[in-house]
Structure 1
Amino acid sequence: MSSERYSRQELFTPIGKSGQEKIVSKHVLIIGAGALGTASAEALVRAGVGTVTIIDRDYVEWSNLQRQQLYTEENAERRTPKAVAAKNRLQEVNSSVNIHAHVMDGNIEELESLITQGVDVIIDATDNFDTRLIINDLAQKHQVPWVYGACVGSYGISYTILPGETPCLSCLLDTVPMGGMTCDTVGIISPAVQMVVSYQVTEVLKLLVEDKASLRKKLVSFDLWKNQHTMIAVDKVKKADCPSCGEQATYPFLAYENQTKTAVLCGRNTVQIRPAEGMKRSLDAVAESLRPHGKVEQNPYLVSLTMDEKRLVVFQDGRAFIHGTNDISEAKTIYYRYLG
């Protein structure tokens, strides 16, 4: 590797050569490989982070290409799983980084297994609060810092959560309105994505070089179209009795009864169904059984069955997407009809 590769980063005094050595030795977990996840992953891989682990349950679609920067038209045509497509591109960007890609939902057991493999920082790049609350409890339980981020329309928000020091996401939810809009209901522009990523990645770099004194202590939000920018001090909202980060924490979002087995996906007119127990399906066998029922397409990671206005997509880990409905009961009917 050329000694010049990180020279400009090393010239930046808060990082320097010693900071770069720390960056190369660290491990970042990125949960979600959509707009925030792909941009964060590329920035960190270019910065030389030693190990980057990416987890995502979805595959590339045409609507992703407007803002999810690692993907191509070929990925959308092939419905390549996002984690796989991201890894392939990132390896071309920097072959010296260890990149691990996981095509899976990220339930509690899966996330906990990844977090306990020496992860130094977690980046939130998800599209739902169910997963974020699980991340929050796992981060508190295992004392791993994480950086929250979200964006929709021209609006974005970010906050750095340090277990044992700052308010956690559960504390914030009682005080700071997070909104209920999604990119599928009000749209999104890519500059909003890049702005959130800039905040998230900068905080991650501070953590990786162990410069905690420079961390932003406030929650930041902005609206690029309306030329608004706000920094909110939230340190006083930390609760001693918070069930997620308080003195007697019980981590409620890790309880079995709070685990989601079905989920409507972020305004996409799609329901995900995940088996209660992990399983591995033979995609060849699934494709063969589905062939009489409609148009079947297959790649190494999934099988897709199109039936009139509905589409059933089955992954190796037993998960299924039912496109064309937001009705969980209807989705379950389709799932059991074709998969038993």
Structure 2
Amino acid sequence: MPHPDALTDRYSRQILFRPIGPDGQQRLRQSRIAIVGLGALGTVLATQMVRAGVGFVRLIDRDIVEPSNLQRQSLYDEADALAGRAKAEAAADKLRQANHDVDIDIAMEDVTWRNAERLLSDVDAILDGTDNLQVRHLINDVAVKHDIPWAYGGAVSSYGTTAFLQPGQTPCLVCLFGSEPGGGHDTCDTVGVIAPVVSIIASLQTAETLKYLSGNINALSQSMTHVDVWRNEFVSMQLGEPQADCPCCGQREFRALRARSDGMTVSLCGRQTIQVRPETPLQVPLDRMAQRLASLGTVTHSSSLLRCDFGAFQITLFADGRALLHGIEDAAQARSLYARYIGM
């Protein structure tokens, strides 16, 4: 256990910030958080929360480090990418070197209805670093069911959105966007992303979470913030009140948890092919999806299906959102690739 003076010195500049002070710092040290996703947003979130002295941090990610991550995912280096290290493991190693006083727990798992409550219900706040709408709906269900606030965030291209959602105090994700995750939204793998917007969105998420954990509830923004760093846009919209008729926070129907669905993945025996069938139809026409994927692989399409050859694997996408991932044997990997290239 570090000497109290050492801890005071480590966090001295944060303690000098009057809204936090010694009492707020002690609150942070006694707090527990979970970060879902350790990509661009998640690595910034994890770095800032661990360095701020939050006592317990659970890092959750299903993916490995790849060279394309290094442009914006700040906890990884070339050695991690060359070795194909698990992101949660590589991130934990770096963070423990930055602050050994924090208890860092890793979960190299795909968040589903099977494990969402186990991974997320024993913390004081949840931070969203995922790019997956189905996982966000699981986070929202757990947050509302167990009365846990969470910092929503998303960033692609040059724009991003964030909000700090508090059950009973603000609208939940379903209030804001509806109960059907849908598919076909922009992802970093289809429209790219630049690092500045990632840092801004993650920093706003961190700031709201630090306010909450340090006891500065009155300082919370109560707004949804949209940023586009390329177009010089910064827009803040009041969240308002929870909706009484919301299926989730109003009627407490936890549909994502109750769906008992893993993205409807089915292995087609003997073919090295996994079928992924999302809960809701694709929301983007195949011709638009073809335009998105054209720079990433060889694309052919008709009115009924699209095929994209990425070299190591191929995707056949049908108009209703069902996809066959060829050259893949692992269901979790298939869901990950679907989320990256199609949007889930």
1:254 and 2:257 matched: yes
SS in 2 for 1:229: strand
Match of 2:176 in 1: 172
In 1, Cα distance between equivalents of 2:148 and 2:116: 13
SS in 1 for 2:315: coil
8 Å contact from structure 1 (residues 152, 186) kept in 2 = yes
Of structures 1 and 2, the one with the larger relative CO (CA 8 A, separation 6+) is: 2
Q: Among residues 93, 101, 107, which one is paired with 2:98 in the alignment?
A: 93
Q: Among residues 239, 245, 248, which one is paired with 2:243 in the alignment?
A: 239
1:331 and 2:321 matched: no
Residues 164 and 332 (structure 1), Cα distance of their counterparts in 2 relative to 1, 3 Å cut: farther
In 2, Cα distance between equivalents of 1:23 and 1:257: 35
Q: Deviations over 1:54-89 (max 9, x none)?
A: 100100001000000000111111110100000011
Percent of residue pairs identical: 42
1:123 and 2:127 matched: yes
1:234 is displaced (CA, Å) by 2.5
How does the TM-score come out when normalised to structure 1? 0.77
Q: Which moved more, 1:1-10 or 1:28-37?
A: 1-10
1:101 is displaced (CA, Å) by 0.8
SS in 1 for 2:114: helix
In 2, Cα distance between equivalents of 1:174 and 1:100: 32
State how many pairs are aligned. Answer: 280
Match of 1:210 in 2: 215
Question: Given residue 251 of structure 1, which amino acid in structure 2 is its aligned partner?
Answer: F
In 2, Cα distance between equivalents of 1:154 and 1:334: 32
Ranges in structure 2 where 5+ consecutive residues have no aligned partner: 267-272, 278-309, 331-344
Q: Deviations over 1:21-45 (max 9, x none)?
A: 0000100100000011011100011
Q: Among residues 125, 144, 152, which one is paired with 1:140 in the alignment?
A: 144
SS in 2 for 1:137: helix
In 2, Cα distance between equivalents of 1:11 and 1:250: 44
In 2, Cα distance between equivalents of 1:330 and 1:157: 31
Q: Among residues 144, 164, 181, which one is paired with 1:160 in the alignment?
A: 164
Match of 1:54 in 2: 59
SS in 2 for 1:226: coil
1:334 is displaced (CA, Å) by 4.9
In 2, Cα distance between equivalents of 1:250 and 1:273: 25
1:259 is displaced (CA, Å) by 4.0
In 2, Cα distance between equivalents of 1:226 and 1:332: 39
Match of 1:188 in 2: 193
Q: Among residues 78, 84, 87, which one is paired with 2:89 in the alignment?
A: 84
In 2, Cα distance between equivalents of 1:191 and 1:271: 36
Question: Given residue 253 of structure 2, which amino acid in structure 1 is its aligned partner?
Answer: T
Q: Among residues 92, 102, 105, which one is paired with 2:110 in the alignment?
A: 105
In 2, Cα distance between equivalents of 1:90 and 1:261: 35
In 1, Cα distance between equivalents of 2:275 and 2:138: 17
1:124 is displaced (CA, Å) by 0.6
Runs of 4+ in structure 1 displaced over 4 angstroms? Answer: 270-274, 326-329
In 2, Cα distance between equivalents of 1:211 and 1:271: 48
CA RMSD in angstroms, aligned pairs only:
2.5
8 Å contact from structure 2 (residues 44, 73) kept in 1 = yes
In 1, Cα distance between equivalents of 2:264 and 2:101: 37
In 2, Cα distance between equivalents of 1:207 and 1:61: 34
1:181 is displaced (CA, Å) by 1.5
